Structure 1
Amino acid sequence: MTRTVQQLFDLSGKTALVTGGSRGLGLQMAQALGEAGARIMLTSRKAADLEQAVATLQDQGIDARWIAADCAKEADIQRLTDETLERMGDIDILVNNAGASWGAPAEDHPIEAWDKVMNLNIRGYFLLSQAVGKRSMIGRKSGSIINLASIAGLGGNPVEMQTIAYNTSKGAVLNFTRALAGEWGRYGIRVNTICPGFFPSKMANGLLEVIGPKLVEGTPLGRLGDDEGLKGLTLLFASDAGKHITGQHMAVDGGMSALIGG
């Protein structure tokens, strides 16, 4: 007997690890997974932010915990994996969301800034996916990995934005997703990417000051994302409702990428 839509989206009994989960899009995705029944482990670098985020989720009736870790550091990634498995058991859903950006002209971009962006935005994704995959998903032949990229990974930017390292790292996330999905499909592990457009954040607001609000106003929906915009797609990729979707990316951007050919 086929399951109902509600049953397909149900995450009861599942455990999700969400990086960069103390605020913004990471916290929004954690809320979506928790509201569908998953237990949540949040991680980011700052304990105080995590405590507040977990308190918010717990107030909503979500089983949530936290571990402070820097996903640009291999030792922290291994510790995060160890502690999550010890405290919560197997990890069913991994959301790779922690990220960094840097604005500078390509000709003068500091190499240390380039390395900082790459280490967190793509190397960290690989190392954590590898650790969680080997320790929890491959042996059980089950799991969902959701990588956060950006519409910045779908193409170039106006000259005013000067985010070449960020764009490059997010483009790498797209092909990392395809490659990992190709290799790990035999283990029943699905790997997909969400590409947000402009959502309210410190980084997005700063970019909009540079390039102007007309860029957003000119998109088909003519608005920024909000605190619900990623919930539906996150739940689709994480749950059995998306059980036949892997190696894909989806832009959540008000239609902006449709205009630029993303």
Structure 2
Amino acid sequence: MAGNGATTRRLLTLFPLHVTLIFLLGANGADAATSFSFANECSHPVWVGVLSGATSPQLPRTGFYLAPGGTSSLAAPSSGAWSGNFWARTGCAVDEGTGRLACATADCGSGDVACDGRGPAPPVTLAEITLAAPGSGGLDFYDVSLVDGFNLPVSIAPAHGGCQAAACAGDVNAVCPSDLSVASGSSGEVVACKSACNAYGSARYCCSGDYGTPAACGPTSYSQVFKAACPAAYSYAYDDASSTFTCSAAATYHITFCPAT
């Protein structure tokens, strides 16, 4: 993942500081290892990317192909807490000259289906999660983030009746401002929408420098476009109140690409 300000901070830590602090103070946690299930409800294939946090072990697969209507699953480590994120790459194909896989959106740059510890190039919709250690009494934290832009709708839902899903089910590409839009070279179709931080790199849009606190960095006209399309997703770095979700004792988290609106 490339970028400045808030984007760079998320690359290094995977989650904002507030999530890490709340996680460490959480209560009422899970007692067993967690699994992740994946479903592709898009009309096109996706290549899932998986990135573990800096202190978390790598999952058994760091990338895999999902056909339309396809499903898959991964198990989280049973030995302790885990943090990481998931995303969908689109428009992927193998280059005949180099033999490397390249994707139109959210490419992780590995040249392969597996991302091998590499994060996605923005713009990308991220499903982020921090799991409590089994038996620790801690809470899991999860969200859908548009801080690094948007490429397709995503939801993450715990298999637990008392916990809410985090989702961006709206099509941000359909309402993306022209100066943030990323179009396909062949068709001109908008395939992704940059965040203002990605596009301009300014402290104001990236919540960095003089704007590096929640009090100093509020929503902008650009982030409000994202928020209107996806009210429950992070639209900028400090968009916490309506965008961070918690759960305890969820055995499975379901990640769905292109969930029904």
Say whether the fold is shared (TM-score over 0.5).
no
- Structure with more strand by fraction: 2
Higher relative contact order (CA 8 A, sep 6+): 2
- Structure with more helix by fraction: 1
TM-score, normalization by structure 2: 0.32
TM-score, normalization by structure 1: 0.32
